[in-house]
Structure 1
Amino acid sequence: MSELTRIPAPDGVAPAAQYSHVVLGTGRFVAVSGQLALDEAGELVGEGDPAAQARQVFENLGRCLAAAGATFEDVVKLTYFLTDMAHLPAIRAARAQHISDDRLPASSAVQVAGLVRPEFLMEVEAYAVLPG
């Protein structure tokens, strides 16, 4: 795990309950492409079910991070792409299974008109920093 500093509320910026405004560290940068709710055979998991899709997305993120020698503790930034902001609580619940509230990364949530296929409700990408 790299040495990361999280700044949840810089001076003059309103605090955020669900993410850190700033995360900094030194080391090797890892970028994980946006993950969808696909199992290892490429089949959709949780059609129409945001909670099931969010769980699968975070499982996939964890596997991708592991392939780079990283864990969720190394994540400095998550970006959520959602077809409906009503799915954000499902993403937060899935995230809570992998990332503790005292290690929240910087985050952005973007509502999009659609993803690569209409049955996907969300896509999540991650950036991590590993020790140099």
Structure 2
Amino acid sequence: MSILRLNPADLFQSPAFSQAIVTQGPGRTIYVGGQNAVDAQGQLVGSGDLTAQTRQALLNVQTALEAAGAGWAEVVRLGVYLVQGQDVQAGFKAAQEVMGPNAAPPTITVLFVAALGRPEYLVEIEATAFVEG
């Protein structure tokens, strides 16, 4: 197996994320740069709405993954950047909608930041995936 998800008994157990992931063997690593809530025309989706922006950012991540021959099952790491003051639960709700139930959750880091690349952006999401073979 090329992707090993580790959840040591001495660490918190969550169905939403893994504590560590090891990738090994033949395969490809895919790095998806930070995605914001912009559509293919560069227009902001969900002005002032963290749930809508998270949904669009995740759909953008998904599109990039699919272009590289991967899907959510191959994601080993998500980095989520939220503008300070946003409700992280609204973002998690959108993530559950887009990613669906995940028997193999990635590692996740959520950071609150002062601002993102444009003042109207509320969230930015980056991903790392590993495709076996």
1:52-84 CA-partner distances (Å, limit 9, x unpaired): 101101110110001111111100000000003
Corresponding residue for residue 44 of structure 1: 44
For 1:104-123, list aligned pairs within 5 A: 104-123=105-124
Q: TM-score, normalised by structure 2?
A: 0.88
Q: Which runs of 4+ in 1 moved over 3 A?
A: none
Residues 50, 86 of structure 2: 8 Å contact kept = no
For this pair of structures, how many residues does the alignment match? 130
Match of 1:95 in 2: 95
> Residues of 2 paired with 1:88 and 1:67: CA distance?
28
Q: Contact 1:29/1:130 (CA < 8 Å) preserved in 2?
A: yes
Deviation for aligned residue 1:16: 3.8
Answering whether residue 30 of structure 2 is matched by residue 30 of structure 1, we say yes
Equivalence for 1:60: 60
**1:17 CA drift (Å):** 5.0
Seq. identity, %: 35
Consecutive unaligned residues in structure 1, runs of 5 or more: none
Q: What SS class does the counterpart of residue 87 from structure 2 fall into?
A: helix
TM-score for the superposition, normalised by structure 1: 0.89
